[in-house]
Structure 1
Amino acid sequence: MWFAIKQIYESLLFALSALKENLLRTILSLLGVTVGIFAIIGVLTLVDTLNDSIKNSLSFIGNKVIYVDVFPWTFGKGEYPWWKYIKRPNPTYEEYKFLEKNLTQASAVSVFGVRGGLNVKYKNSSAKGVVMQGISYAHNKVADLRIENGRYFTEQETESGRNVILIGATLAKDLFGNADPIGQTIKINNIPFNVIAVLKKQGDNLLGAPSTDNLCIAPFKSMQKMFISTRRRGVRPQIALKGFESDTGLQELEYEAKGVLRAYRGLKPLEEDNFALNRPEALFDFIDGIIVTLKIGGWLIGSFSMLVGCFGIANIMFVSVKERTNLIGIQKSLGAKNYFILSQFLFEAIFLSVIGGLAGLLLVSMLSFLSSETFVIKLTTLNILIGLGVSSVIGILAGIIPAISASRLDPVIAIRSK
């Protein structure tokens, strides 16, 4: 253990000496490693940030959820016969109740609907273009609904369709300012609703995806009554099925839901499904495919710079071996073994390469100054370890041949060299 520490220490001294004596040459040689690490880790960091931002933007669709819909999600895979899908019947509230009663592989079943362009008023304050969502009692198990102040619906309120509502943080600020909205009555298209909660502020997201900040959420039945009473077109129900954590890939839930829906709709064995069971995982898999492609591109771009850096460090090491040939001969004449000489130069090459890698990581960390509210750039511990690991491997590849040549020098010939 002590021998290894001494070896590393001596290698550090030799490397620092090389840096001081030939500063410009060393910096130019390490530039390839620096640029390479910056390219690779920079791309990995930006891609990881992009991946996190996109998935955070899509968090509203939930996790381990299947959506019953008319149109399947294909994301550009093959032909899309929309003319066939458009003839399918829409999901209904009765289907939701049937699924809720008969599904055993679902941890929660929810129905919801959305309408936009609504006017919301409270005394002299108003907000236009507000989006309203009607949900069933179990919807908070399906979607990510975080309450900052107040409470969620009771099951009785959702089943009876009471005019109670949850409002987003931005909407609450616009209508009430700094006052407490809980217990107050607002009017949505002139229909009164009692505010029972304010949702936690989400802020902007990368894709401009739906946010709860300017949203109001009511029981699905009260939303249905609202639009029927105002003689406007009703709300189209959408059904969401939440699976169990143990259901890998939601296969069990999908098979059961397909059988129950086919039975409810009276489809014969040879008839094609007239509904689609869509999973967010399909979207995330599509995104992951793009992310992997971007990462491969980053590695390919960075590899060229790393190759240049590898040759640069190898050049330094060959020059270092030549300059210290006399010293190597003296060390060998005093009993130094071949592996001692080899490890000296190999540690020195690794150290030089790691310096270049650290410089690259420093440049990557400066990318955080380009962060925005929707795109927070952060250098992760994993990417730092990857950068240091790659630079260490480059050091080994660049230093192994010069180190071997140094360890094989004849001590008599080496001492005579100038």
Structure 2
Amino acid sequence: MKSLRQLWESFRFAWQALRSNLTRTTLSLLGVTVGIFAIVAVFTIVDSLEKGIKDSMSFIGDKVIYVQKWPWGFGGEYQWWKYFQWPEPTYAEYKYLYDNMESASAVAVFDSRGSMTLKNGSNSILGSVQGVSYEYNMISDIPIGSGRYFMPLESSNARNVAVVGADLAAALFPGQDPVGKEFKLAGNKFVVIGVQEKKGESLVDFGGNPDKNCYIPFSSFSKLFQSGRRRATTVVKGFPEDEGMQQVEAEITGLMRTKRGIKPRDGNNFSLNRPEAAAQALEGLFSVLTLAGWVIGSFSILVGGFGIANIMFVSVKERTNLIGIQKSLGAKNYSILFQFLFEAVMLSLVGGLVGIFLVYLLSFIPMGSLQIILSFKNVMLGLGVSSVIGVLSGIIPAMLAARMDPVIAIRAK
């Protein structure tokens, strides 16, 4: 009960100090507000960027390795002249991996064409056509909103069936249920067997916008768009217990070298690409943004901290007589210390809350495909930093107040 009464009295003193000179207090807290806004805003934007990129990467799979000719270049020297001479991956190599891989949970193959026209009567739209094997949905996220995915028999027998994105379905069959209906692709009739759930805009669309993707069996794709040697990109998914995917990567390397007849002393002439390499490359950018937020915010908070300290010194001087009366009535040093420290923390929290509120308002500003979300973690970060600044700014004035001699303090004017 005594602690609650002390807390209430400290709150009253802090509120009175905040109201007594509103202009001075507001200007002093401006630095804390700007600093907390800068830090929380940067962390919120970085978190939103990471979430957007991870959501986009879900469509190219998790814990997967792509067997391709060209490596994904993220920093360092890109020896394109060397990779240019490497052979393209083939369907035969995919079949070899599919038949012999033991440390993989799924092995799939795919190839794609750029923008192609899909038609249904007078309705037409450009879409990205991808030929995929049946196992592709075990590796990449293809959420079906209506209808179904390919059956193994449809995939192996080169049936003209398709799973289309939500935008393609809406454009080709406006106001209709697309499942079971036909459209034309490269002069050939295809039947829609499934429609993907609508994804909407993404920050980064790895593999194209899913809403405008058209998936057909790889055998059908090869029959229509490939002649002679069948090029293909093989994608392998490892088991969850394979940490770092070292086992599956080693097995892919050994099998590919065997299939291509690479001598022991020669290097690989194929690339094993991982989606997480893109995320790791972006982490460096995120780190720079985070550091910039801390630097900018720290300078502002430093100014705000001095402002709060100034308010507290003035407050101690104005209430010196009151401090003497409190001590003469039996108030302990820790009680006076807590009173002024609470006031400093409260002032700092007010500035921090305003900064956090500004970040919250920022989340309502349209930023295209980037969706700003203020997380509970970042709110607590802002409140935590504000509290620390309040303690550091108020500790010296609070200690001076707590150590005052009651007789001298009462005589003060």
In which range does the TM-score fall when normalised by the shorter chain? over 0.9
* Displacement after TM superposition at 1:227 (Å): 2.4
Number of residue equivalences:
412
* Cα-to-partner distance string for 1:228-274 (whole Å, 9 max, x where unaligned): 5xxx6876311111112222221221111111211221212111011
1:228-239 aligned within 5 A: 228=226, 236-239=231-234
Change (3 A) 1:369 1:279: same
- Amino acid in the other structure paired with 1:147: I
**Pair 1:45 & 2:40 matched:** no
**Residue of structure 1 in register with 2:151 after alignment:** 154
Which among 348, 366, 370 is matched to residue 361 of structure 2?
366
Distance 1:29 1:124, change over 3 A: closer
1:305 corresponds to 2:303 = no
- How far apart are residue 208 of structure 1 and its match? 5.4
Q: Is the 8 A contact 1:110 1:137 kept in 2?
A: yes
Render the CA deviation track for 1:306-350: whole Å, top value 9, x for unaligned.
001111111111111111111111111122211111111111110
What SS does structure 2 have at the residue aligned with 1:270?
A: coil
- Candidates 185, 188, 206, aligned match of 1:188: 185
Quick one: distance in 1 between partners of 2:118 and 2:74?
36
Q: Specify the SS of the correspondent of 2:177.
A: coil
Q: Closer, same or farther in 2 for the Cα pair 1:208/1:109, shift >3 Å?
A: closer
Structure 2 alignment gaps of length 5 or more: none
Whether 2:163 is the aligned partner of 1:166: answer yes
Deviations 1:210-239 (A, max 9, x none): 1122221111001111225xxx68763111
Shift of 1:118: 2.4
Q: Does 1:126 align with 2:124?
A: yes
User: Which residue of 2 is the match for residue 406 of structure 1?
Assistant: 401
Aligned position for 1:261: 256
Structure 1 position 20 matched with structure 2 position 15: no
* Post-superposition offset of 1:60: 2.5
Q: What pairs up with 1:59-138 in 2 under 5 angstroms?
A: 59-77=58-76, 79-127=77-125, 129-138=126-135
Q: Contact between 1:33 and 1:391, CA under 8 Å: does it hold in 2?
A: yes
SS at match of 2:363: helix
Instruction: Report if the CA contact (8 A) 2:90-2:229 is conserved.
Output: no
Alignment partners' CA distance in 1, 2:115 and 2:322: 82
Identity of aligned residues (%): 53
Q: Which amino acid aligns with 2:384?
A: G
What CA distance in whole angstroms lies between the structure 1 residues aligned with 2:28 and 2:94?
Answer: 67
Amino acid at match of 1:18: A
Q: CA 1:243–1:208 in 2, change beyond 3 Å: closer, same or farther?
A: closer
Bigger mean CA offset, 386-395 vs 34-43: 34-43
Q: Distance in 2 between matches of 1:337 and 1:294?
A: 47
Whether the 8 Å CA contact 2:113–2:130 is kept in 1: the answer is yes
Gaps of 5+ in 1: none
Aligned twin of 2:221: 223
TM-score (normalizing by structure 1) = 0.95
- How high is the TM-score relative to the length of structure 2? 0.96
Structure 2: distance between partners of 1:94 and 1:197: 29
Q: SS state of the match for residue 364, structure 2?
A: helix
User: What CA distance in whole angstroms lies between the structure 1 residues aligned with 2:304 and 2:13?
Assistant: 19
Q: What is the CA deviation profile of residues 112-137 of structure 1, one whole-angstrom value per residue up to 9, with x for unaligned ones?
A: 0001242322233333x332100011
Residue in structure 2 matching 1:397, options 382, 392, 400:
392
Letter in 2 for 1:51: E
Q: How far did 1:388 drift?
A: 0.2
Q: 1:233 to 1:132 in 2, by over 3 A?
A: farther
Residues 314 and 233 of structure 1: CA distance in aligned 2, closer, same or farther (over 3 Å):
farther
Greater shift after overlay, 2-11 or 149-158?
2-11
Q: How far apart in 2 are the matches of 1:117 and 1:415?
A: 85
Rounded to whole Å, the distance in 2 between the matches of 1:342 and 1:117 is 71
Letter in 2 for 1:204: E
- Residue 179 of structure 1 aligns to a residue in which SS? coil
Amino acid at match of 2:128: V
Q: Which moved more, 1:264-273 or 1:49-58?
A: 49-58
Distance 1:234 1:179 in 2: 40
- 1:383 corresponds to which residue? 378
Tell me what 1:33 maps to.
32
Distance 1:233 1:260, change over 3 A: closer
Output the amino acid matched with 2:91: Y
Question: Cα distance 1:83–1:304, how it changes in 2: closer, same or farther (>3 A)?
Answer: same
Change beyond 3 A, Cα 1:249–1:6:
farther
Question: How far apart in 2 are the matches of 1:118 and 1:278?
Answer: 27
Taking the aligned partners of 1:304 and 1:246, their CA distance within structure 2 comes to 46
Number of the residue aligned with 2:196: 199
Deviations along 1:352-379, one digit per CA (max 9) or x if unpaired, are: 1001100111111111221345111121
Q: Distance in 2 between matches of 1:265 and 1:235?
A: 16
One-letter code aligned to 1:165: A
Q: Which whole-Å CA distance do the structure 2 matches of 1:27 and 1:217 have between them? A: 59
Greater shift, 137-146 or 246-255, is seen at 246-255
SS for the counterpart of 1:370 is coil
Q: Report the CA distance between 1:36 and its aligned residue.
A: 0.8
State which drifts further: 43-52 or 290-299: 43-52
